[in-house]
Amino acid sequence: MLGRKSFAAAALAVCCGSSLLGVPQAQARTAVSAAPAEAPAGREEGTLIARLSIPRIGLKAEVREGVGGSVLRRAVGHYPGTALPGQKGNTALFGHRTTWHRPFYKLDKMRRGDRIVLRAGRTSYVYKASSKRVIEPDDKRVLEPVPFKRNSAPDGRYVTLITCTPKGSDRYRLVVVGRLHHKKRIR
C-alpha cells in the first residue's frame, strides 16, 4: 500500500502524464491503480461523487473517485482521502488540461470570487475562488486540510482544483482554491 506522499506523487504524475520525483510514468500508473485500497470503504475508484460546474469557464463535468488514468480520461478525479464536497477540510480535484476531455483547459481564466459549484446528491455547494497559483509538481501542501498550510487542522470547507501548466506541458501545477460560500438544497 502506498503512503500519502508517494500516492500524491504518483497521482500528480499521472494527472499530467509525466514522471515525477523520479517515478517513471509506468510505475506511477501502477501506483495510482492502487487507489481503491486508499479510498474509504464504500467508495470504489470511478464512483460518481458529484457534478462540477464553473460558469466563468463554461465547465460542466462529472467528478469521480480516484485519480487513476481510467478516471481522468472521462472525468475530474477526486483525490482519495480528501474531504467530500461540503465536508470540513479540502476537497482536492484533479483534471487534465490538454488531453482527453480537458476539463481544466481554461482554469487559468479563473478570478477571485468566481463560483465553483459541486452538486452532490440533492445539495449544491457553492464555493468562491479565493486564490490561484502555480506550484512545483512535488508540492503536496496542496492536499492539506487547509490548502498550503502544513499539518493544518480543517478550519473550513475548501475545494482545490489542480492541473498542469503551462498548456501542453507538465512542468508546473496550476492550482485554484475556493472556500465554501453557501449550500443550497435542491428539490
Q: Which residue segments constitute the domains of the chain, with CATH numbers given?
A: 4-185 (2.40.260.10)
Report if pTM > 0.85: no
Q: What is the pLDDT of residues 133-177, one digit of tens each?
A: 999 999 999 999 999 999 988 999 999 999 999 988 899 999 999
Q: Which of 64, 78, 97, 164 is catalytic?
A: 164
Q: CA nearest 94: which of 69, 112, 116, 119?
A: 69
Contacts (Cβ under 8 Å, ≥6 apart) of 180: 86, 125, 126, 127, 156, 157, 158, 159
Counting residues of the chain whose pLDDT is more than 70, the rounded percentage is: 78
Cell, residue 150: 502544513
Q: What is the pLDDT of residues 18-39, one digit of tens each?
A: 433 222 333 333 333 333 334 4
Q: Is 96 noted as a catalytic residue in this protein?
A: yes
Q: Which of 64, 78, 157, 173 is catalytic?
A: 173
28, 22 Cβ separation under 8 angstroms:
no
Q: Which of 78, 96, 97, 157 is catalytic?
A: 96
| Residues 184, 158, 67: CA angle, nearest 5 degrees | 105
